[in-house]
Amino acid sequence: MAPGLDFSDWGAMETRKGTPVVVKMDNPNYSVVEIEDPDAAFRPVEKSRGKNAKQVTWVLLLKAHRAVGCVAWMATLFWALLGTIKKRLIFRQDVGMASEKLGKGKLLFTVIKAFLVISLTILAFEIIAYFNGWHYFQNPSLHIPRTSDIQGLFHLVYVTWLWFRADYIAPLIQALSKFCVALFLIQSADRMVLCLGCFWIKYKKIKPRIEGNPFKSNDVEGSGYDYPMVLVQIPMCNEREVYEQSISAVCQLDWPKDRLLIQVLDDSDDESIQCLIKTEVATWNQRGINIIYRHRLIRTGYKAGNLKSAMSCEYILAYEFVAIFDADFQPNPDFLKQTVPHFKDNPELGLVQARWTFVNKDENLLTRLQNINLCFHFEVEQQVNGVFLNFFGFNGTAGVWRIRALEESGGWLERTTVEDMDIAVRAHLNGWKFIFLNDVKVLCEVPESYEAYRKQQHRWHSGPMHLFRLCLPAIITSKIAIWKKANLILLFFLLRKLILPFYSFTLFCIILPLTMFVPEAELPVWVICYVPVFMSFLNILPAPKSFPFIVPYLLFENTMSVTKFNAMVSGLFKLGSSYEWVVTKKAGRSSESDLLAAAERESKTTNQLQIQRGASESELIELNRLKAAPVPVKRVNKIYRKELTLAFLLLTASVRSLLSAQGVHFYFLLFQGVTFLLVGLDLIGEQMS
């Protein structure tokens, strides 16, 4: 029932007390006074009793002037804040770069300017109206609404809103919320099954093992009899920060030199970076490492095109396996000895995937949250699928492929930005099996800035949906078992790549905030509290040191669903950003092996003149200049305030649903308004940066 809004008793006096007394005086010079209360005669006269219409006009005009002036002052302050941000950006970067980026927010600044102009116009109109005497009280034909009329109008509007909200808005939200809750429970059940499978693997100590000793004990120098031919590829593009440590780590792999070839596949368009990489390759080549440098003239297809071009060389026919490492990956020297022997006596094995570990996982809050997700991905998803299904998505790096498996599956294709998942699906459809080695770890980096992380997540969530559109006919017509087709379509693609970002965005970023304004569609406590917290605990189990960050992890993952949902939609419907590839920025963090090899790199620098005997003096001067070029100072980029603010927005909506019965709904609505204001301010700051 709608609350009553009868304000007629607000201005009423207290309950009348005492006995009315009437005093009459015979003297006609005195008036008749009626005393209803002993203190009535001594009460002060109401201040508004002696006011006329002109005084009320003055008061109203002054209040209007103050209100408009306050709005104009706020707009001026806001504009000054934006100007300060703009100056900081111009001082920090080139003026041309700042103007180019500020052009993206042209529409936003146009709206702000229009708001400021309208505010000043209203203020000027009020001043002119006052000095010209255009007071609405002096217009006899103008109807002045009474207080009761205004109250009745507000009451009618409020009752109409309640009726419309209960009959039309709430049922739609409830239907959508029930659908999303069902998807949420299905996805939670899938996570539970994966976690139970991981516990079973730990309990039974199930893991791939190498039978016997694959190498001869007397083959210390590496005669090559038991060592297959291995090709190592390092695809990179403008990787100034990490190229040296990556090449150094790969060149120190413990494998016979005559059975190993390293390809540095450089797609850089910066000539200075090309020169540095060429010099690094020449340095290791002088040390007896079989390493070559390749650069494409026509850079098409991103990483897939780079790998495809490298595999087209004739000398590849002599090699049986290929190991792939991205530019920031630093394998241990025994990597090949821990992975390649698994292929022996296992002709159906096509891929051996190693686990990632991160040198900068404790750099900031963003890297800690990424470590939680990736630890669950490798420890639970990849390991369980590898043990029970012999299939999982190739991670694109830190893996060894059988070259024949790549060739029979169609090789590298340039049709999507997730070429690693593409080749894994096609190899699975051709009957090849995969092995995941959770004990073999390769050092790498995670993005330290939110911008780099957001672009990486966009590619990781748009590519699978684009690939699903392309692979669906091949999956349906393939000759694999029905349960494998169902696993690919229902679990691998739909549930984990489409349903997860859809329900997370819809349920926690749309429906949950809407319940603050439509309480009839409130979500149950177990949906917004108990189940998400329990699932977050399961996600954090593979990284137990991250338990203090469970609340930021839960909130940030929900807010990141906006980016993931946008990427999923762009990939599913093949929008313009579905084929967008931006190289993830690296910071060049050093591993322990790099620190131990610091002295060796120093000696390499001193012996550079002897290594580059064929170079002219001018070339050596230019090389030294490139080496001595100052590395750009890394900006400390924590999580953007927008993401944390939106996270607290969701937290507020959750708490309000628990405390709405205590009558604190208004305060949470007020906090919501302030939160939305902060989000808007930070969006402006993001557009300008």
Q: Give the model confidence (pLDDT) of 215-265 as tens digits.
A: 765 544 444 458 999 999 999 998 888 999 999 999 999 999 999 999 999
What one-character DSSP code corresponds to residue 330? B
- Dihedral angle computed from the Cα positions of residues 285, 286, 288 and 293, in that order, rounded to the nearest 10 degrees: 10
Instruction: Show the tokens assigned to 413.
Output: 């294709």
Q: Which of 326-330, 404-408, 608-612 has the lowest mean pLDDT?
A: 608-612
Residue 359's pLDDT band (cuts 50, 70, 90)? very high
Largest CA distance in the chain: 139
In this prediction the pTM is 0.70
Most confident listed range (217-221, 298-302, 356-360, 549-553): 356-360
Residue 100's pLDDT band (cuts 50, 70, 90)? very low
Q: Catalytic: 267? A: yes
Q: Catalytic: 190? A: no
Secondary structure of residue 541 in the 3-state scheme: coil
Helix (H) and strand (E) counts in the chain: 26, 9
**Residue 109: predicted pLDDT:** 61
Domains and CATH numbers, the chain: 109-206+500-588+636-688 (no CATH), 230-446 (3.90.550.10)
Residue 518's pLDDT band (cuts 50, 70, 90)? confident
How high is the mean pLDDT of the chain? Answer: 77
Instruction: Please identify which of the residues 266, 326, 328, 420 carries the catalytic annotation.
Output: 420
Instruction: Show the tokens assigned to 249.
Output: 């780590």
CB count, 10 Å around CB of 665? Answer: 14
For the stretch 556-593, what's the b/e string if a residue is b when 16 or more beta carbons lie within 10 angstroms of its beta carbon?
A: bbbbbbbbbbbbbbbbbeeeeebbbeebbbbbbbebeb
Instruction: Please identify which of the residues 267, 328, 422, 594 carries the catalytic annotation.
Output: 267
Distance CA 417, CA 415 (A): 7
**Residue 142: predicted pLDDT:** 54
* pLDDT tens digits, one per residue of 46-80: 444 445 566 666 667 677 667 667 767 777 776 77
**Residue 16: predicted pLDDT:** 47
Instruction: Show the tokens assigned to 24.
Output: 């009459």
Cβ neighbors of 336 (< 8 A, separation 6 or more) are 230, 253, 254, 255, 260, 323, 400
CB 289 within 8 A of CB 255: no
Residue 579's pLDDT band (cuts 50, 70, 90)? confident
* pLDDT tens digits, one per residue of 654-664: 555 444 444 44
CB 679 within 8 A of CB 590: no
Phi and psi at residue 670, to the nearest 5° = -65, -45
Distance CA 69, CA 54 (A): 22
Q: Which of 144-148, 289-293, 351-355 has the lowest mean pLDDT?
A: 144-148
Please state whether 574 falls in left (phi above 0), alpha (psi between -120 and 50) or beta. Answer: left
